[in-house]
Amino acid sequence: MVELHFVHQLLSITHRPLTKIELEDLPMQDFFQVISVKEFISKLKDFSPVGTVELPLTQAFGRVLAQDIVAREDLPLVHRSCMDGYALMAKDSFGASESNPAYLEVVGEVEIEKIPDFTLGPGQCARIVTGGTLPDGADSVIMIEHTQDLGAGTIEIRKSVAPHENVMLKGEDFQVHDLALSSGTCIDFKQVGILAALGVASVRVYQRVKVGIISTGDELVPVHKVPEPGQVRDVNSYTLAQLVDKAGGEFKLYGIVQDELQDITSALETATQENDVVLISGGSSIGTRDLTVQALESIKGVEILAHGVAISPGKPTILARKENKAIWGLPGQVASAQVVMLVLTLPFMRHLAGQKNAFAAEDRVHVQAELARNIASKYGREDYVRVKLDNTDGKLKAIPILGKSGLLKTIVQADGLLKIPDNLEGLEKGTEVLVWKI
């Protein structure tokens, strides 16, 4: 490969192994085809959403609509009361107050499940409960708290009401043939309520995205094993699985794969066949034992779309595809892998699940804070800095948590991520920033 040939040339000149600092100082383009985050996302958008399935409404929560929902009837079907009180003509209450009440004649009572069979005339009203259908002639409802029953069928009105006050009008939510919900909408309790109100007992939604997770490295051991010097427990399998679950996907763990080309190739082939997305962590940087790219290149039909994205942490991320299946080579460092997942992979999963504008940041919860110290960045890349939020002096401050990408505590201690755009070389202390809460 070109990058390995380049390293071999340097080794022949120096006659010694290159140090880590020397490797990091080498021109990155000699090892990666680094692309911008914008370019990377454009490649992600080329993948098509997964298939669809018809589900009963009780199982649709958390899924994404794969069809437009058009109202088949008006909602509400009739003018309905929003309050317990009296249905009346609004003009009969004009000028009424505590000191100058009006008086109306009660001519009926509306039962909630029945359509009134009477009509109100001037100076008349009818008792009504919340949800009751307004009788003909009525255009508003006065709350019972603003009335007094004087007996003998007379009601004292102590407040004026406007036309349509305390009334849900026919078709006010949706009129017949209105677009109620559009395809690509994520279904939560609010959408479930609309679907139920419109009589949609089952709905077509996108399937859950299936994600296979592979961890690579001779140094990895299962979580139940006590590591020896030079070994570490497999963390990524579990953290990535939880992030996939949080995004509504279905994960399958393929365990630890040793740093052998055939083993990695076999695991990738199996996971790609069985899933929509494959996440393989480790083996994406410039180390001599990194075999992910070689394994991908050896699999028939796999195209490597990117090896390197201008993001920190997470620059050596790999993106490949086989037909409509995506294969991600994530950094082995835990915090780096998690940042890539949060910024790029989870939005991609939502895209595959059919969600509209999946790569927009509108669904992220941001808080405004004051930066507590200067932060340096590199022009041309997006930096995601882990920060802790502190409000001890009455002013919310974002305190950067500085540390190596392999340190778990940098994520655990963080309340959020601060994005430094690729057109800046850092941010100064005191700058008002938006922190993405995680």
Residue 350 in contact with residue 304, Cβ under 8 Å? no
Residue where a domain stops, chosen among 159, 183, 206: 206
Q: If you average pLDDT over residues 372-379, what whole number do you get?
A: 94
Amino acid at 243: L
Q: If you average pLDDT over residues 216-236, what whole number do you get?
A: 93
Residue 2 in contact with residue 29, Cβ under 8 Å? no
Q: Measured in Å, how far apart are the chain's first and last C-alpha atoms? A: 39
- Is 138 domain-assigned? yes
- Is 22 domain-assigned? yes
* Judgement on whether residues 333 and 418 belong to the same structural domain of the protein: no
Q: Give dist(CA 104, CA 96) in Å, integer.
A: 11
State phi, psi for 367 to the nearest 5 degrees: -130, 150
State the number of CA atoms in the 13 A half-sphere of 121 facing the CB.
2
DSSP 8-state class, residue 226: P
DSSP of 264-329: HHHHHHHHHHH-SEEEEES--SS-TT--HHHHHHHSTTEEEEEE-BSEES-TT-EEEEETTEEEEE
- Is 231 domain-assigned? yes
DSSP 8-state class, residue 344: I
Query: Looking at 203-217, 299-313, 350-364, which range is the least confident one?
Result: 350-364
* Judgement on whether residues 116 and 222 belong to the same structural domain of the protein: no
Q: Give dist(CA 144, CA 172) in Å, integer.
A: 24
Per DSSP, helices labelled H in 357-399 are none
3-state secondary structure of 187: coil
In this predicted structure, the answer to whether residue 267 has a pLDDT above a threshold of 60 is yes
The domain that holds 193 is classified in CATH as 3.90.105.10
The domain that holds 91 is classified in CATH as 2.170.190.11
* Judgement on whether residues 2 and 19 belong to the same structural domain of the protein: yes
Q: Residue 425: give the domain boundaries.
A: 366-437
3-state secondary structure of 197: helix
Query: Looking at 201-215, 249-263, 271-285, 311-325, which range is the least confident one?
Result: 271-285
Residue 229 in contact with residue 369, Cβ under 8 Å? no
- Is 177 domain-assigned? yes
* Judgement on whether residues 220 and 335 belong to the same structural domain of the protein: yes
Residue 142 in contact with residue 159, Cβ under 8 Å? yes
* Judgement on whether residues 200 and 57 belong to the same structural domain of the protein: yes
- Is 361 domain-assigned? no
In this predicted structure, the answer to whether residue 61 has a pLDDT above a threshold of 60 is yes
Q: Give dist(CA 362, CA 365) in Å, integer.
A: 8
What pLDDT digit, counting tens, does each position of 89-123 carry?
Answer: 999 999 999 999 999 999 999 999 999 999 999 99
The residue that leads in pLDDT, 198 or 291, is 198
* Judgement on whether residues 56 and 200 belong to the same structural domain of the protein: yes
Tell me how long the chain is.
Answer: 438
pTM: 0.82
- What pLDDT was estimated at residue 23? 40
pLDDT bracket for residue 411 (50, 70, 90): confident
User: Rounded to 10 degrees, what is the CA torsion of 93, 95, 97, 99?
Assistant: -130
| Residues ≥6 apart with Cβ < 8 Å to 214 | 254, 255, 257, 264, 267, 268, 271, 278, 279, 280, 281
* Judgement on whether residues 156 and 294 belong to the same structural domain of the protein: no
The residue that leads in pLDDT, 236 or 289, is 236
* Judgement on whether residues 245 and 324 belong to the same structural domain of the protein: yes
Residue 141 in contact with residue 134, Cβ under 8 Å? yes
Amino acid at 403: G
In this predicted structure, the answer to whether residue 4 has a pLDDT above a threshold of 60 is no
**Domains: count for the chain:** 5
- What pLDDT was estimated at residue 165? 97
How high does pLDDT run on average in the chain?
90
In this predicted structure, the answer to whether residue 29 has a pLDDT above a threshold of 50 is no
Residue where a domain stops, chosen among 113, 139, 168: 168
- Is 359 domain-assigned? no
- Is 106 domain-assigned? yes
| Residues ≥6 apart with Cβ < 8 Å to 163 | 90, 139, 140
* Percent of the chain scoring above 90 in pLDDT: 84
pLDDT bracket for residue 9 (50, 70, 90): very low
In this predicted structure, the answer to whether residue 406 has a pLDDT above a threshold of 90 is no
- Is 336 domain-assigned? yes
- What pLDDT was estimated at residue 11? 41
| Residues ≥6 apart with Cβ < 8 Å to 34 | 28, 308, 309, 310, 315
Q: If you average pLDDT over residues 345-364, what whole number do you get?
A: 92
Residue where a domain stops, chosen among 115, 148, 168: 168
- What pLDDT was estimated at residue 405? 59
In this predicted structure, the answer to whether residue 286 has a pLDDT above a threshold of 60 is no
Q: Give dist(CA 334, CA 99) in Å, integer.
A: 72
- What pLDDT was estimated at residue 27? 42
State phi, psi for 275 to the nearest 5 degrees: -135, 170
* Judgement on whether residues 322 and 420 belong to the same structural domain of the protein: no
DSSP 8-state class, residue 113: T
In this predicted structure, the answer to whether residue 261 has a pLDDT above a threshold of 70 is yes
In this predicted structure, the answer to whether residue 288 has a pLDDT above a threshold of 70 is no
Instruction: Name the token pair of 291.
Output: 């075999």
| Residues ≥6 apart with Cβ < 8 Å to 173 | 75, 76, 197
* Judgement on whether residues 332 and 225 belong to the same structural domain of the protein: yes
The domain that holds 262 is classified in CATH as 3.40.980.10
Residue 219 in contact with residue 226, Cβ under 8 Å? no
* Judgement on whether residues 300 and 232 belong to the same structural domain of the protein: yes
* Judgement on whether residues 254 and 343 belong to the same structural domain of the protein: yes
3-state secondary structure of 363: coil
Q: Give dist(CA 103, CA 157) in Å, integer.
A: 6
Query: Looking at 11-15, 198-202, 372-376, which range is the least confident one?
Result: 11-15
Query: Looking at 22-36, 117-131, 400-414, which range is the least confident one?
Result: 22-36
Q: If you average pLDDT over residues 298-324, what whole number do you get?
A: 95
